Amino acid sequence: MTFLKLLIRNRLAAAGAVVMALVLLLALITPILPLPDPDVTNTSNRFVKPFSEGHLLGTDHLGRDLLARLMYGTRLSLAVGIAAAIFAAIFGAAIGIIAGYFGGKTDNIIMRGVDMLMAFPYILLALAIVAALGPGLTNALIAVAAVNIPFFARNIRGVTVGIAHKEFVDAAKLAGEGHLRIILTEILPNVIPVIVIAMSTTIGWMILETAGLSFLGLGSQPPQADLGSMLGEARSALITNPHTSIVPGVMILIIVMAINLLGDGVRDALDPRLRSGALTRPRPSTAVARTSEIPKPRETGTMVLTDLETQFHVGQRVYKAVSKVSLHVEPGECLGVIGESGSGKSVTALSIMGLVASPPGVITGGSARYDETELIGAPYEKLRRYRGDKVAYIFQDPLATLHPLYTVGDQLCEAIRVHHKVSKKEAWQRAVALLKQVRIPNAEGRAKVYPHEMSGGMRQRVGIAMALANDPDVIIADEPTTALDVTVQAQILALLNDLRKERGLSIIFITHDFGVVAQLCDRVAVMYAGRIVETGPTQAVLDDAAHPYTRRLIACVPELGEGRRELHAIPGLPPAVDKLPAGCAFAPRCDKADALCQVGTIELEGNGTRAVRCIFPETKLSEDVA
């Protein structure tokens, strides 16, 4: 269904589909249409012009009705082209899957054979095959299918090689599944979209090739008409009676155009990366469609978010990933943003610099101010200048953000030179100094290695060095230690803490671990279903959390050295952000909730230092202490 919707949304593809459906329908019902016999000659009636009585498209050099020949010819050309495409796809895909899956010698032998076939110009190869088998439509079909097999084999082999090394295939092998079963259940479903895409984009080409062979007299034999043979026969009357060539020529043009447009649409609609964003590529910065005025900031700091709202618009659905989030961070301060997976922490962080992919992401309101400059809705050039230079990000998996083909030193140099005009040598020296600063031993030597040659902890230090490359004022760290073991995690946290003190950095630290917040953050903001439910100084929140959700989150952290202690998981799941309930989103999971919690809007209310979004808080916040 999604596939069809996406296909229809692409207007050119939809036009191609309509034309193709019409042509196919006409081809199917040709035998029952009141048409004259396409093969009956009437030499007294040669070259009748189009729109004559009894001959809508005129007649050819033997007086045969061109409309009837066109309809039957189209039927035949389509049948042969489609059949050739199906054969080429089946055999080519089978060869590609076997070569890609088994690899090694099997791959070498099969693919060198395919290479040899590809070394011949396709039309020469097709001519050689037809010459060997003899002229005729079936042989033309075999020839066209055969010359296209290498194209499918190469494409599918490439995709299969990638899939054959994926973990789920290894898991199937470890579970003792046989090769045939793995190919049918693990590999094939993953390559079918590629086969369909390859077919949809080559079918038009195969119809042309079949027409080419018939044009040369090697395909359909007289008196049988197909589009190529009609063109061939019309060749001698090209100047005197052009309608005999124009009629089949225009039909070939229409069919090939329609198939190509449809094929491109099918390719786009089947590409999973384009699905949620319809058929458009992401824009360089997140789309902003405000539904209200830019709010005035209520706090001060290096980075101040006020009532930030980010949504994902997917078809008719609206996912409210971030709802009216307000945060601020002072110079030299570390703010922790904590919440379960899916609570909107990353989307909040990415919205600040316009890094949420659009479509489907849209910032629908709020403000993000860096040092008095509004970032939401700022022109892309301005955001680009600020990205990395003023506000830098550190992500969870540095392997995904570092380029695998460049050394870490080169990547650091590039990051420096994007924002500063310095010589390569100077950039390199700065890169080495940065690596030293993040305490990488033998920084000169390590600058020359590739990311995959480093351990996870070292890579994350490189990630931090990248973030520091341009001396930013704000660092947004999105779960930078989640993938690391506890000792390395402690080292990285200590490093971030030292850098913060040395450089006066503001850090927004995203995590789902209260233990990490306790170690590093001055203040904490707890998120649930896209909203802040509690904020306050870390120690105060840890000592006496006000929101039942915060209490439950803290209770989930094991305390080492405390002897046996029961951990209380939070029952239930967070709500889907496209179907948020009224009132408190945590109410369905909260044992303190009653009917009052499930109506209206519950505001975040505080005393200047702490705030909570709950009508039955676990603890009463003391009067204003600001």
Ligand X SMILES: Nc1ncnc2c1ncn2[C@@H]1O[C@H](COP(=O)(O)OP(=O)(O)OP(=O)(O)O)[C@@H](O)[C@H]1O
Q: Summarize as ranges the residues that interact with ligand X (CB under 6 A).
A: 276, 312, 314, 319, 321, 339, 341-347, 360, 512, 577
Distance CA 280, CA 268 (A): 9
Smallest gap from Cβ 538 to ligand X, in A, equals 19
Q: How many other CB atoms are found less than 10 A from the CB of residue 464? A: 25
φ/ψ of residue 311, rounded to 5: -130, 160
Q: 159-182 burial, b for 16+ CB within 10 Å, e for fewer?
A: bbeebbeeeebeebeeeebeeeeb
Smallest gap from Cβ 346 to ligand X, in A, equals 3
Three-state DSSP at 363 gives: strand
Smallest gap from Cβ 309 to ligand X, in A, equals 12
Smallest gap from Cβ 193 to ligand X, in A, equals 20
List the end-to-end C-alpha distance of the chain, in Å, as a whole number.
Answer: 56
Q: How many other CB atoms are found less than 10 A from the CB of residue 471? A: 14
Q: Which is nearer to ligand X, 335 or 468 (CB)?
A: 335
User: DSSP for 242-277?
Assistant: THHHHHHHHHHHHHHHHHHHHHHHHHHHH-HHHHTT
Q: Which is nearer to ligand X, 150 or 463 (CB)?
A: 463
Q: Which is nearer to ligand X, 46 or 275 (CB)?
A: 275
Q: Which is nearer to ligand X, 572 or 608 (CB)?
A: 572
Q: Which is nearer to ligand X, 410 or 479 (CB)?
A: 479
Smallest gap from Cβ 235 to ligand X, in A, equals 56
Nearest to 481 by CA among 493, 494, 469: 493
613, 603 contact by CB (below 8 A): yes
Smallest gap from Cβ 530 to ligand X, in A, equals 7
Query: Torsion angle, CA of 572/574/576/581, rounded to 10 degrees?
Result: 90
Query: E-assigned strands of 464-613?
Result: 474-478, 506-511, 523-528, 531-537, 605-606, 611-612
Smallest gap from Cβ 591 to ligand X, in A, equals 24
User: Angle 394-399-402 (CA atoms, 0-180°, nearest 5)?
Assistant: 70
Q: Which is nearer to ligand X, 79 or 314 (CB)?
A: 314
Residues contacting residue 222 through CB under 8 Å, at least 6 positions apart: 229, 233
User: Angle 57-60-66 (CA atoms, 0-180°, nearest 5)?
Assistant: 35
Q: Which is nearer to ligand X, 343 or 519 (CB)?
A: 343
601, 585 contact by CB (below 8 A): no
Q: Which is nearer to ligand X, 282 or 583 (CB)?
A: 282
Question: HSE (CB half, 13 Å, CA atoms) of 172?
Answer: 17
Q: Which is nearer to ligand X, 210 or 460 (CB)?
A: 460
Q: Which is nearer to ligand X, 230 or 325 (CB)?
A: 325
Q: Which is nearer to ligand X, 287 or 347 (CB)?
A: 347
Three-state DSSP at 555 gives: helix
Distance CA 316, CA 198 (A): 31
